[in-house]
Chain A
């Protein structure tokens, strides 16, 4: 089955810096890659997603890149703000059937003012 690895486990940056979180997946059939932000005790919130027919997607300060050949994808947050502090999860899925998501292990991002 699919296995998703995520690095780093923790990431501390200064406000205004960029943050990059990387994930690798094992199943070449996976073609849907969402990123979630989860604050303590809250539900995961989808912040951006990408499909395998696209190499990069951007939404304001957030971007995701995908390298299908290498089976890795990354989340880029620019001009970080303290409210970006949360746990971020990547996930992988196959875009058919029951769309089961396999989550990465999570990255705790801390943005210091």
Chain B
């Protein structure tokens, strides 16, 4: 149980275009979802926290107009990278906390590798 999926697993796009990444909780309802970015050989950096039906809370230094987060349902959150540039190339990982699940464990998605050319 407690499976989180992401789609796509990898994507290549041209500079200036927008890319949408989906994060789904498959067998539980996610009250809160988190979006992380991980550059090569670096740690996970939290970008934003989203709760279903409300605006996301962005971490300091993360441009909310560039990284659009929509948590439209208890099983789906999306991250849209708008006007992507090569420096946005990274591994994007979501995680979710489940309503009714025991403990405070975050369940991580498999990640999406974004390459902007």
CB within 8 Å of B: which residues of A?
32, 34, 41-46, 49, 89, 93, 95, 98-106
A26 to B111 alpha-carbon distance, docked (Å):
29
Closest to B94 in A: A43
Instruction: In the complex, identify which listed stretch (B14-22, B43-51, B62-70, B76-84) lies at the interface while the others stay far away.
Output: B43-51
Q: Which of A43, A93, A98, A99 contacts B108, CB < 8 Å?
A: A43
Q: Is B71 an interface residue (CB 8 A)?
A: no
A82 to B39 alpha-carbon distance, docked (Å):
25
6 contacts between A and B (CB under 8 A): A32-B104, A34-B105, A43-B93, A99-B97, A101-B106, A103-B43
The residues of A that contact B108 with a CB separation of less than 8 Å are 43-45
A interface: dominant SS? loop
A39 to B104 alpha-carbon distance, docked (Å):
23
The residues of B that contact A106 with a CB separation of less than 8 Å are 42-43
A101 to B45 alpha-carbon distance, docked (Å):
9
A38 to B42 alpha-carbon distance, docked (Å):
11
The residues of B that contact A44 with a CB separation of less than 8 Å are 44, 93, 108
Q: A44-B44, A89-B44 are in contact. Are A98 and B109 (CB under 8 A)?
A: no
The residues of A that contact B46 with a CB separation of less than 8 Å are 100-102
Contact yes or no, A98 B32, CB < 8 A: yes
Q: Is B110 an interface residue (CB 8 A)?
A: yes
Q: Determine how close the nearest CB of chain A comes to the CB of B98; give it in whole angstroms.
A: 11
A98 to B106 alpha-carbon distance, docked (Å):
10
A100 to B43 alpha-carbon distance, docked (Å):
15
In B71-113, which residues have CB < 8 Å from any A CB?
A: 91, 93, 97, 104-106, 108-111, 113
